[in-house]
Structure 1
Amino acid sequence: MVYCNQKIVVIDFNVLRTKTYSFFIDDEMCNLTVERKNNRWYYGLVIDHEVDTPKNALRRKVNRQNVYKAIIFLIIILLSVSAISMFFAFV
């Protein structure tokens, strides 16, 4: 059983091999991997940023806006450096 905030999220009592479970925590899609290696169990929890959820769509939109802002900033810097160098070249 997997609990989150004192609520049962996943029930699977017969886990004998490596398995992956997907479930939501708030707006985040999470992948829990239960892995068996050399008769030992290992656990990993990863937030899935690729699945189409409202939060991931917002995250992609913000990332895209940040890339545009960075490109505009670099263009402004390049134009400023060019203008300053041209000014001093003719003085």
Structure 2
Amino acid sequence: MQLIGGEITVQSTLGQGSCCTFYIQLALAEGVISSNSIIPIDGAVSIAPGRNYLILIVEDNSANRLLLNQILMQLGFEVQGPENGEEVIAL
């Protein structure tokens, strides 16, 4: 993340879960109206054209992983969502 001016923080409580936050520097992109949006994303349109960002979703709950995948893909990110720790390490 430091290569693109970003930062990742993680707060975790045993038995309750984790909260991961990331910040990356992005420029505003032109608005694109899509009639096939599945999930409304308030205030977010997409990443800037010509930019490619790969986001690795590490989440053991398949519903959470699917939701994050759909939201981030709609914004134009490339997403990988391994199902377990072994797959994460392999990636």
Instruction: Give the shorter-chain TM-score range.
Output: under 0.3
TM-score normalised by L of structure 2: 0.21
Higher helix share: 1
Higher strand share: 1
Higher relative contact order (CA 8 A, sep 6+): 2
TM-score normalised by L of structure 1: 0.21
Task: Kindly name which structure, 1 or 2, has the bigger radius of gyration based on alpha carbons.
Answer: 1
